[in-house]
Amino acid sequence: MAANPNYEQAGELKIGQVGIANLRVRTLDVEKLAEEMRDRVARAPKLFSRAAVIVDFGGLPGTPALADARALVDALRDAGVIPVALAYGSSDNEQLAVQLGLPLLAKFRAQYEPVGGASATTAPAQPAAVEPAPAKPVPATSASNANPGFVQVLPVRSGQQVYADNRDLTVLAAVGAGAEVIADGSIHIYGALRGRALAGAQGFEQARIFCREFRAELVAIAGHYKVLDEIPRELHGKPVQISLHDNELRIDALE
């Protein structure tokens, strides 16, 4: 009998937590979408230049034609981001992914639709937004059913990511520029926040972000985000709390 092959000899394959932006397309006006993306890349190049993007056609009435989808993907590449997959949708969407040569990622639909597949109530159409994609398919529904919080003692340095799965995250040190902290619950940072903080990663809209020294590159709750140039300068370096109200992030000084 032949020995089982050792698949770890040439390369070790693991499924890990990665930060990928999710673009829900709400119009097939390719030039408008490309212009918005170019503007995002220009305003926050460290975050969005050559960023991996999941393309979600769930904001459209139906699956777009191959020519329209290909034009959109090409326009996004020209705008400075890299489309790496389509978000799961109908069987037509699955076929479209094959034709585009892109994988189909089912889990990225979880942020927009409740468990069971029913369509979520959506706000009136707005410009397409890049939203940090959730990490797992089942959203947290309340803080009470989360696990005990995770405590990060050491600083989170550039290029590092800390993820609190189905729980709150407490960081006792600084989050450096280029670092990322993610939690399905709320995030508490007792040092400076110079990187990115994403709370409510599974769609938990009651999550909050607290930090002692606010200098963030990006903050997000349940996919709604603000980048550095959208944050009032008078809040830079201050202790703040961040919450979500009517699909808009609110940043309040704690002093």
Confidence of residue 1 (pLDDT cuts 50, 70, 90): low
Which amino acid belongs to residue 103? P
Does the structure show a pLDDT above 50 at 21? yes
Neighbouring CB atoms inside 10 A of 233's CB total 8
What distance in Å separates the CA atoms of residue 131 and residue 166, rounded to the nearest whole number?
A: 19
Confirm if 211 and 236 have CB atoms less than 8 A apart: no
Does the structure show a pLDDT above 60 at 123? no
Amino acid 18: pLDDT: 56
Helical (H) or strand (E) element with 37: helix 30-43
How is residue 59 annotated by DSSP?
G
What distance in Å separates the CA atoms of residue 84 and residue 201, rounded to the nearest whole number?
A: 20
**CA dist list (Å): 162 to 94, 196, 227:** 32, 11, 19
pTM: 0.60
Average pLDDT over residues 180-184: 92
Q: Which of 5-9, 28-32, 250-254 has the lowest mean pLDDT?
A: 5-9
Average pLDDT over residues 31-47: 87
**CA dist list (Å): 76 to 70, 81, 134, 149:** 10, 6, 21, 38
Domains of the chain: 21-105 (3.30.70.260), 150-253 (2.160.20.70)
**CA dist list (Å): 39 to 42, 79, 96, 144:** 5, 9, 28, 39
Confidence of residue 5 (pLDDT cuts 50, 70, 90): low
Confidence of residue 140 (pLDDT cuts 50, 70, 90): very low
Which tokens in the block code for residue 37?
């993306």
DSSP 139-165: ----GGGSEEEEEE-S-B-TT-EEEET
Does the structure show a pLDDT above 50 at 138? no
